[in-house]
Amino acid sequence: MSDASAPAGSAREVLSAFLRLGMTSFGGPIAHLGYFHREFVERRRWLDDERFGQMLALCQFLPGPASSQLGFSIGLLRAGGWGGVAAFVGFTLPSALLMFAFAALSAHWSGAPGQAAIHGLKLVAVAVVAQGLLGMARRLTPDLPRLLLAVFAALLVTVSGNAWMQLIVIVLGALLGPWLCRSVTAHPGQPLTLRHGRRSGIMLLAVFATLLLLSLLPWSDAPAWARITAGFYRTGALVFGGGHVVLPLLKQTVVDPGWLDGNSFLAGYGAAQAVPGPMFSLAAFLGERIGIGHSGALGAAICLLAIFLPGLLLVSAALPFWQALAARNDAARVLAGVNAAVVGLLAAALYNPVWTGAVQRPRDAVVALSAFALFAWARWPALAIVGWCVTASLLAALL
């Protein structure tokens, strides 16, 4: 249902507001939510606390990058479809350009200092993923059944060594959720006022589902650009539980088939912690390093759009139906099971490739564990953690 009383605004003002946030929103997905609340609820008053909370709940319920989906939703409510596009472009472009530039420059870091700096970024990944895992485990596995589900998922992924096992454990989490998470209940809110209705939502959901189905089909004989696009779309469509969970799925997409080596992959992930904006901008780094048609820029653009598109399609499709969906206990329990499995997925990724790819000697373990302590308990910002790990790695290379 559309509502003519939805707040009027322009795509230009949405772009201006989100471009500023895209250049200043350091700290990762959880911090982004605080930036958005301060900017759009407290300062600009584009929406109230209740509607902000409703959209936040939806974005945490759906797969995809929650902070980017929330920003896109705010743009939709403010200025319709073009407002959503403006919010996405403004919030994503600064970090995407920074990651693209880092990828282009890192190809020339063949000397000892350059390799030491890249190794430091791999140690950043250890600290960041460990901190993300700790936070997710506290929030998403608060009871014994969900904790056991997470442990089981981690063991399955680690022991099997099969890339598709990551998708299988997500499905298992969804199937076991209604049984293991019977204590979970739904929390519906008031309906949102939108400029598009349920008919548009059904069309967008059909587009999302069709593209997801295509991305899951075998692509062995397809051109390289089609296989890469399918892999990034599949990753963006199946990321539950937060930005850090993109790591194992992206590894499956770009490292396992041999598009990119594990060292470059972890270095890019570490660098993504040092830039503002969404973590999914890592796709710009990966796309530049992979290259499509001998063009790093084309690779970055395709990978970036492919990984963000499913989340934006899905949140646009779900918004008109959110009131009914939020009232269903069975839907909340399915999501709880998926989120518990995702904790196990991230735990497996912390071991391999993050720890095994970065920690090669005792001093690496000391740097990584100290960075984790500074991040998780001393509350150092991500940018300071990057500086510490890179500096420590450079000093170790000089000694």
Specify the pLDDT at position 1.
Answer: 39
Specify the pLDDT at position 94.
Answer: 95
- Tell me the per-residue pLDDT of 238-260, one tens digit each, with 9 for 90 and over: 887 556 678 888 888 899 888 99
Please, which pLDDT band fits residue 206 given cuts at 50, 70 and 90?
very high
- Tell me the per-residue pLDDT of 84-97, one tens digit each, with 9 for 90 and over: 999 999 999 999 99
- Tell me the per-residue pLDDT of 129-178, one tens digit each, with 9 for 90 and over: 788 788 878 888 999 999 999 999 999 988 987 667 877 888 899 899 99
CA atoms in the 13 A half-sphere facing the CB of 166: 24
Average pLDDT over residues 226-243: 85
> How many CB atoms sit inside 10 A of residue 23's CB?
17
Phi-psi region of 180 (alpha: psi -120 to 50; beta: other; left: phi over 0): alpha
Q: Where do runs of H (alpha helix) occur along the chain? A: 11-24, 29-36, 49-61, 66-106, 112-140, 144-160, 165-180, 198-216, 224-237, 246-250, 262-272, 282-290, 296-318, 322-326, 329-349, 356-358, 362-376, 382-398
Please, which pLDDT band fits residue 209 given cuts at 50, 70 and 90?
very high
What end-to-end distance do the CA atoms of the chain give, in Å?
A: 66
Q: Contact at 8 Å (CB) between 265 and 353? A: yes
Q: Is the pLDDT of residue 193 over 80?
A: no
- Tell me the per-residue pLDDT of 266-317, one tens digit each, with 9 for 90 and over: 889 888 877 888 989 999 999 999 987 778 899 999 999 999 999 999 999 9
Q: Is the pLDDT of residue 54 over 80?
A: no
Q: What is the CA radius of gyration of the chain?
A: 20
- What is the pTM (predicted TM-score) of this model? 0.77
Q: Is the pLDDT of residue 2 over 50?
A: no
Please, which pLDDT band fits residue 341 given cuts at 50, 70 and 90?
confident
Specify the pLDDT at position 307.
Answer: 96
Specify the pLDDT at position 379.
Answer: 84
- Mean predicted lDDT score pLDDT of the chain: 86
Specify the pLDDT at position 3.
Answer: 41
Specify the pLDDT at position 195.
Answer: 82
304: which strand partners? Answer: none
Specify the pLDDT at position 6.
Answer: 45
Average pLDDT over residues 313-337: 85
In angstroms, rounded to a whole number, what is the distance separating the alpha carbons of residues 120 and 83?
39
Which comes out higher in pLDDT, residue 233 or 380? 233
Return all residues near 219 (Cβ < 8 A) that are at least 6 apart: 226, 227, 230
